[in-house]
Each structure stands twice: as structure tokens, then as C-alpha cells.
Structure 1
Amino acid sequence: MSAGFDGPLLGVDFSSAPSRRKPITVAHGRRAGAVLRLDRLEALPTLDDFEALLARPGPWLGGFDLPFGLPRELVDSLGWPQDWAALITHYAAMERAALRAVFKAWCDARPAGHKFAHRACDRPAGSSPSMKWVNPPVAWMLHAGAPRLLAAGLSLPGLCDGPGRDPQRLALEAYPGLLARELLGARSYKSDEPAKQTPERLIARKDLVEALEQGRSRLGLRLKLSPAQAEALVADARGDRLDAVLCLVQAAWAAGQPRHGWPAGVDPLEGWILTA
């Protein structure tokens, strides 16, 4: 895994059940030195549209807001496959009702405060455990997304990037909440519920866009936007466009890092979240 990718970049705010009302949102951009230019935003209302995105010829590198792996502790205790591709294939073959029953039984047998298994990246990233099936249902994002990444023949650095994978189409796990918290602290900037789309969250989105444009994060990148693009990011009270752009910034950082930003010793079954 080498540094210095300079091709097109994607940031993908994923949904396991996209619709026209709440599509998968893709931010397209390109990095030049410390400047990341947002080229355009794209809405994908179906999972078929998402598959078509993955099939587009490279070179490109994408940061995807969905978990790529399961906790080693959980996989070991269930006796599931130890190879990432085999694990994802096994996981995809299970119905969600069956997965929910397995995960619930596993959690029910654990002491309070330690119900869920975590990946090594969850705590530094502040992300939800990938086995969680409600609030947010990231287990279903894994179930809908990772098998499609595998089936599309992408190269997933550190997880599945050997023979038969396309080195011109690279997918990495991103998490917009990590970068948002660095810039906003505990302030909320989005909500899917109209009643919670408050003036305070609008101001937070304005502040977040301004911080990205000024390059105030530890990632050392400045986001270049047109006035219309900045307005569109601020106007989206659900935060989907902004989340896609945050993933794009994380992808742009990874494009300039050795090993695409993966620390040494990452578990190749669990994966890693960019910048954690």
C-alpha cells in the first residue's frame, strides 16, 4: 500500500435503504497538495445505483461511511470465517432476522455495560459497534454495503487487495462523525427529524463548512468550494451532503499517506476507520 494517489476521489454517505427522499450521497473531488476541490455532489436513490457507482472505471479512491468489518471477539466466539472475504460472504448469506437473533443472544449473555463487541478502531473513532442493529443500524449498513464492495472487485487495502482485485478502484472505511467532532466538539449539526432541524444546527453547519474551508483540522487540508456549493452544504438539514464531503476529506488525507493511513498491526478481519 503506497502513498501518493492523485486521481479522482469520492466521499460516500451510505444508506442501507436509500430512497429518493434520502439517497446515498456522493461527493466527488480532487486533491492538489493541501487543497481539496469539491467537483460535484451526486444522489443515488437505489442500491442498484450504488452498484453502478462501484463499477465505474478507475482510477479512483473512495471513503465510504459504512463499517467494513466485524469485531474479532464476536467472529471468534461465533466460529465464523477468519478470512475477511469469506466472512463477508457468510454474513451476506444470512437473513437480517437471523443476524438480529444471533447478535441479541450474544448481547443478552454479556454483563451490563459490555453488551456489544467493539473493533479496535471504534473507541478512537467514536463510532458505533458494527454489530449494532438499532440506533444507528450499522449492522445493516455492513450487510448492504460490504458485500457489494467485495462483489464489485474493488481493492480494499488491508482487507482484500490481492490477485483479482482492481488496484485502480480503492475503497476505504470513513466516518464523518470523527472529523465533525474534531471541528465542532459535541455540537450537533444535523437531524433527519424536521422538528430537530433547529437554528443551532444550521449555525453548526455554517461553522463546520467554514472550518473545512480554512483547513482547521489536523488533516492539513483546505476544502475549496464555490459559494453555491457552500450554500448547498449548509442548507441540507439532514447533513447527508456534508457527511459525504467529510468522507471526501478523509479520503483525500488517505490518498497522501503511506499504507493509505492504516496504522501498523491493524487486524485484517476488523479493518480500520480512516484518521482514527
Structure 2
Amino acid sequence: MATALAPAAGLSPVLLGCDFSSAPSRKKPIVIAIGSLSHGRVVLSKLVQLESLSAVADWLQQSGPWLGGFDLPFGLPRELVETLNWPTDWLACITHYQSLSREQIRASFAAFCHERPFGGKFAHRATDFLAGSSPSMKWVNPPVAFMLHAGVPLLLQAGVRLPGLSCALGSEQGESTPRIALEAYPGLLAREVLGRRSYKSDDKANQTPDRLIARKDLVTALEQGRTRLGLRLKLSHAQHDVLVDDARGDALDAVLCLMQAAWAQARFEAGDSAYGLPANMDPLEGWIITA
């Protein structure tokens, strides 16, 4: 049976930041940062590691209220969908996409790219340009197309609401304990602080002192509230050390997603029922929060 993440009565919902992987393992788990928002401060409660997609599916069943920022694309580029003659209704498109194997996805996307000119092989969503994120159809380095394929169905199966895409799916409007997921992208917030400085690497040979310094600078900026989100991160000394010492950056990426979720919650508390999503967002493509 699902357990509760709910805060005390009258407070904001629990906030989540998820650094997602389409192929999690003990060596490279999915990391979820759990926290809360109070008076402009984002308090990190704990970090959770999940080593399989089935573990994520079980974890998502926990009762709300919670609001999470998830580092995976929630939609495909409209240009790609229309060229492939797939459904242009978001849920119908995701249902079709889920029915395909990764090999079929790779073949379809490779064929699409083959017909396009050099320098413009991939189709992009409007939000990808603004956020500086990889196109959601990219199947390698990073394989975000497979992250969408693995992750969005888990959210739908759990009955989580995806504002702007499937706001009513799995939950009735006015539900007292909603579970809400928004698309996040940690690179967007990291670049605001670091520019093009790299702060992480899965390759041990590239886990350099310069990247360690970059992580220290990034965590310090978050703690001091030196981003356009207008929020300050509250950490214990031990949590600070965990984020700085994680050379892969998975824990830090989860916290960056947590900060973006907190910004969306702050917008909601200020009267924006769309959690900061733009009114003109494409309901097929989706949108990266804070972009």
C-alpha cells in the first residue's frame, strides 16, 4: 500500500526533484530529492535512490500532496510527430509511443534525421531552444527519447497530474491531495550560475578538481539565493558535503530539479494555477518549468 509524503496540515505540499534515468542500476540509480518550501527557502529533507524502473513505479504511488520536477521530456517535437503521421493529441501520441520498442523508436527517428540537412537533423520543441536542452527525440548522448519512453508512462500509470498535458488524468479537479509532475531541466539552472563550466561527469577520468570547484560554486549560489528563481536552498552541513562530493552530479541534479519545482509551487501560491507554465505552450510538446 502507498505511504504518505504529506506535510502537516495547512503547509505547502512536499516537493520532489527527480534526476531520472531510462536504465537505472545500483551503480547509477535514479535520485529523488525531497524537500519543502517555506518563506522563500527550499529545505532539503532527504535524498532517495531507486535502482530500477519498477522501484520508481512503486514509489510514485505514495499519496500526496506532492509536486515534483522530473528531469525527462514530457513530449515530442510537433514537427517530428506530424512528419511521422503520429497522433497529435498528447495522450494518444504518448500511448502510441509507449507501444513502440526502443529499436523501433531509434529506427523511426534515424530515418527522420536521414532526410534532413546537415546541421538540422533533429526537430526541437519550442522549450528546448529556450532551455538549451537536448531535443526530446535524441536517442543517444543523452538518450532523452528513451527517458520519455520509460518515464512518462510511469507517471500516467500512477495517476499523477501533468498540468498543461493531462491535468485531469488520474485525478479529479479539486482533489485534496494531488500529485503533480512538471518537466524540469537541471542544466538550465546550473548554466545560470556556472555558464558553460562543467560540474559533473560519469567518467572517473573526467572527475577533475575544476568540476569539484564548480559544484562548490553552484551549491553556494543556491544557498545564497543567487538565481533568478528568488529562492534559497537550506542544507545541513552533511547534505552540503554530499552534493559537493557527488562527482557524477546526480544528487545535485535532483536538487536543481527540486528548486525548479519550488519555483512552480511559489507561482501557484501566488495565484498562478498553471504553476508558471506559459499560456501559449504547445499542449503536444510540453514545457520545461522556469524556461
TM range (shorter): over 0.9
* Residue of structure 1 equivalent to 2:119: 113
Could you tell me which residue of structure 2 aligns to residue 272 of structure 1? 287
Q: Does 2:61 align with 1:55?
A: yes
The 1-side partners of 2:39 and 2:86 are apart by 43
Aligned 8 A contact 2:162 2:182 in 1? yes
1:14 alignment counterpart = 20
Amino acid in the other structure paired with 2:201: S
2-side partners of 1:163 and 1:115: how far apart? Answer: 34
Q: Give the C-alpha shift of residue 112 in structure 1.
A: 1.0
TM-score (norm 2): 0.92
In 2, Cα distance between equivalents of 1:151 and 1:162: 13
Deviation at 1:54, TM superposition (A): 1.1
Contact 2:161 2:169 in 1 (8 A): no
Aligned to 2:246: 236
Question: Is 164-173 or 264-273 further displaced after alignment?
Answer: 164-173
Could you say which residue in structure 1 is the equivalent of 2:277? 262
Give CA-to-partner distance per residue, 1:212-259, whole Å, 9 cap, x none. 000000000000000000000001000000000000000000001111
Contact 1:85 1:150 in 2 (8 A): no
> Is the contact between residue 5 and residue 255 of structure 1 (CA under 8 Å) also seen in structure 2?
no
Runs of 4+ in structure 1 deviating by more than 6 angstroms, as ranges, are none
Q: How far has the Cα of 1:165 moved from its partner?
A: 2.5
> Distance in 2 between the 1:109 and 1:85 partners?
27
1:88 lines up with 2:94 in the alignment: yes
Residue 200 (1) aligns with residue 215 (2): no
Structure 2 counterpart SS, 1:270: coil
Give the conservation status (yes or no) of the 8 Å contact 1:37–1:224: yes
Gaps of 5+ in 2: 1-9
Q: What SS is found at the alignment partner of 2:87? A: coil
Q: 1:184 to 1:163 in 2, by over 3 A?
A: closer
Greater RCO, CA 8 A, separation 6+: 1
Q: Which among 249, 252, 273 is matched to residue 259 of structure 2? A: 249
Indicate the residue corresponding to 1:44 in structure 2: 50
CA shift digits 1:154-185 (9 cap, x unpaired): 11000001254265000000000000000111
Show CA shifts across 1:66-90 (max 9, x none).
0000001111111111211111110
In structure 1, the partner of 2:76 is 70
- Residue 221 of structure 1: which of 199, 218, 231 is its match? 231
Whole-Å separation in 2 of the counterparts to 1:209 and 1:150: 33
- How many percent of aligned residue pairs carry the same amino acid? 65
1:174 to 184, 201, 218: 184
Q: Is the 8 Å Cα contact of residues 159 and 169 (structure 2) preserved in structure 1?
A: no
> How far apart are the structure 1 equivalents of 2:281 and 2:85?
21
1:6 deviates by 1.5
Q: Tell me the CA shift for residue 270 of structure 1.
A: 0.4
Note closer, same or farther for the CA distance 1:107–1:5 as it changes in structure 2 (3 Å cut).
farther
Give the TM-score normalised by the residue count of structure 1. 0.97
Q: Secondary structure of 2:69's partner?
A: strand
Distance in 2 (CA, whole Å) between partners of 1:59 and 1:99 is 34
Corresponding position: 1:132 with 2:138: yes
Change beyond 3 A, Cα 1:163–1:145: closer
RMSD after superposition: 1.2
Aligned partner (choices 156, 165, 186) of residue 159 of structure 1 = 165
Instruction: Measure, in 1, the Cα distance between the counterparts of 2:212 and 2:23.
Output: 26
- Check whether the contact 2:26–2:51 (CA below 8 A) recurs between aligned residues: yes
